[in-house]
Amino acid sequence: MTIMAIADYPVTGRDIPWKPFSFYEGFVYKLLDVDVERRTVEMMLKFEPSSVCFYHRHLGPVASVVLEGEHHIEEIQDDGSRLTKVRRAGEFTMSHGSHAHIEGGGETGGVIFFSFRADQDHIYDIMDPELNIVREVSVQDFKAAIDAW
């Protein structure tokens, strides 16, 4: 009998393959739905063991559910200190903060579902390690990506 992980199942009636996120290594993503009019994006990230993505900041509420493994987050606070959070499989979180942060998987990696909401087209900022904005990402960017999938 073959046992499949939850991340291996199609979730929209069609299999959406994992894709690398630009030139970044250590994680892949699946866009599940993008609604430009409502400014919403649903996606999953799959992190390799102990890997991280890039510094970024969300500009609206984000719901997340850890589907497998662990979700590690390091938030940069207003005073420059860092707050580390670990979320385990099955945990749901609704985040309203706009702290710059970096996130990734635990020792065995992680698969996390994210649901982004925004009041404007600009959904989040990609930042460098010094927290300078490298790129502003819009809901239209996600729409173009899912249309090209």
Q: Which CATH superfamily is domain 21-139 in?
A: Jelly Rolls (2.60.120.10)
Q: How far is CA 3 from CA 28, 39, 106, in A?
A: 21, 36, 22
Report which secondary-structure segment, H or E, holds 40: strand 40-47
Please report, in tens digits, the pLDDT of each residue of the chain (149 residues total). 444 455 555 555 556 789 998 888 999 999 999 999 999 999 999 999 999 999 999 999 999 999 999 999 999 998 989 999 999 999 999 998 778 999 999 999 999 999 999 999 999 999 999 999 999 999 999 999 999 88
The structure's pTM equals 0.87
> Cβ(112)–Cβ(53) under 8 Å?
no
Domain layout of the chain by residue ranges: 21-139
